A and B are shown apart, each in its own frame.
Chain A
Amino acid sequence: SAVISQKPSRDICQRGTSLTIQCQVDSQVTMMFWYRQQPGQSLTLIATANQGSEATYESGFVIDKFPISRPNLTFSTLTVSNMSPEDSSIYLCSVADSPNQPQHFGDGTRLSIL
């Protein structure tokens, strides 16, 4: 399966600032996904990123708050904008190598907002 690298692995940020999280894959993948895991909670999908098209956001998530880029088949970024303490979470990138196959996850970005 694909090897997925996320950067940064963790960060502590001030409220009102923005942070961009990078997700790099060692092979070309069609679909990339961004999930959020709030403290002590399960994972919730933020958006799906397909190369060459706008990301598709889930209910409750908006592009102004979580802009996503997908410039090629091996890379994507998620920006968390105008952060508040409620944005403190683990943000995880996942990829699907091919249709009808499981998603594989990066190690996540642990984000704390002061």
Chain B
Amino acid sequence: AQSVTQLDSQVPVFEEAPVELRCNYSSSVSVYLFWYVQYPNQGLQLLLKYLSGSTLVKGINGFEAEFNKSQTSFHLRKPSVHISDTAEYFCAVSISGGYNKLIFGAGTRLAVHP
């Protein structure tokens, strides 16, 4: 079975500072990895995905993530955050190939302060 651990439940940061949201996963088979963002009173929006290929993945809104197979990690980074980045961020994993369910981490609340 697959599992996802988001190591920080909350991350406070000042505007224009860099941020890293940590995600580790566990799986005995090949997986796809995703980051989703949830703004207040909204559904989930896909930030970025790792399916195969380059381990450095760039997404929307200036976010990027790096797949590290040896450390089973998929940390999300942004070099300079904005107030509008305040939201809940979810790391998710699915078994690679076909249509498969998403297993979500517990989420990280990013709070950007002026």
Contact = CB atoms under 8 A, between A and B. Distances in A.
Nearest to A103: B102
B43 A92 contact: yes
Given A42-B90, A42-B104, A42-B105, A100 B98 contact: yes
A107 B43 contact: yes
Contacts, number: 53
Contacts of B51: 100
A7 B101 CA distance: 23
Given A42-B90, A104-B46, A108-B43, A99 B97 contact: yes
Contacts of A45: 101-102
Interface in B11-60: 32, 34, 36, 41-46, 49, 51
A105 B49 contact: no
Chain B contact-residue range equals 20 to 34
A24 interface: no
Interface in B63-114: 90, 96-99, 101-102, 104-107
Contacts of A106: 43
Interface string A88-114: 000010101001101111111010000
Interface of A: 1, 4, 6, 30-31, 33, 35, 41-45, 48, 58, 92, 94, 96, 99-100, 102-108, 110
26 contacts: A1-B46, A6-B43, A33-B102, A35-B102, A42-B90, A42-B107, A43-B44, A43-B90, A43-B102, A45-B102, A48-B99, A48-B101, A92-B44, A94-B44, A96-B99, A99-B98, A100-B32, A100-B51, A100-B97, A102-B34, A102-B49, A105-B44, A105-B45, A107-B42, A107-B43, A108-B42
